Copies of this chain bind each other. A is one copy, B any other.
Amino acid sequence: MALIDMLFGGKKKTASVAKERLQIILAHERSDRTTSKPDFLNDLQKDLVQVISKYIQIHPNDIKVNLDRQDNLEVLEVKIEMPESELRAKPGGQ
């Protein structure tokens, strides 16, 4: 799978770095017919962070968001890096 090598900027083997990282890529390709429809990726991003908060503790400072547009393709990239001290699973998450 070539895509796997693109994640985290291609530096995936950082076993020595005591960090936990989460990368979310949301790509939305719209057909021509729906080009005028406002895209929902921005709103979706907020929901995503909320959903992920169920499983891991996320600090707003740890989140980097990038939105890319190319023709009828819209790509939302959310990167979350958690320092080691924050690595604790939330008890309620399942």
Q: Which residues of A contact B (CB under 8 A)?
A: 1-4, 6-8, 12-15, 17-34, 37, 40, 43-44, 47-48, 51-52, 54-56, 68, 70-73, 75, 77, 84, 87, 89, 93-94
Is B51 a contact partner of A29 (Cβ separation < 8 A)?
no
Cβ–Cβ < 8 Å partners of A4 in chain B: 27, 68, 70, 73, 75
A2-B6, A21-B29, A31-B84 provided; 18 other pairs, C-beta below 8 A? A1-B75, A3-B77, A4-B27, A7-B27, A12-B71, A13-B71, A14-B29, A15-B31, A15-B71, A18-B32, A18-B33, A22-B27, A24-B24, A24-B25, A25-B27, A43-B94, A44-B51, A44-B55
